[in-house]
Amino acid sequence: IGVCFGHQVIAEALGGKVAKAKTGYLIGVHTFYMLQHMPWIPHKKASFNMLMLCQDQVETLPPAADILAGNDRCPVGMYQIGYQFLTVQGHPEFTKAYDQAVFTHRSERIGQDRIQRALESFSLEPDRTWIVELMMAFLIHKSDD
């Protein structure tokens, strides 16, 4: 399981490419759209919300990777490589309060306009439980093979 930097490191190590996001920092709650539903995914959803705090992101997937979810600001939001790796660019482990504390601390680099939009995005609830269930289902399915 790779989360944020882990998502990026796994991609880079296996032949993908990571770069600074062309749209700048992604902070706050963002909606991601499922592009594929693998058989192991429980409770199929068309989209989910995830807390974000990143400036870099995966631009090119490594060979054999399947993109599972993305959006216009982060096209590679979640990917899988066989049953060895499942990764997400966001932070399912964060709370809104923690996300806000970190991006507020970095306000000079991020900019007040972007911070204001992130605070407005907090009207959306992150699907933290669903993302954790998804990760657990991946690990359970992996161990069944």
Catalytic residue annotation: 4, 91, 93
With H, G, I as helix, E, B as strand and everything else as coil, classify residue 116.
helix
- Contact yes or no for 52/91 (Cβ under 8 A): yes
> Cβ distance 112 to 11 under 8 Å?
no
Beta bridge partners of 14: none
Distance CA 37, CA 69 (A): 9
Residue (of 124, 11, 133) closest to 75 by Cα position = 11
DSSP bridge pairs for 76 = none
85: left (phi over 0), alpha (psi -120 to 50) or beta: beta
In single-letter form, the type of residue at position 51 comes to L
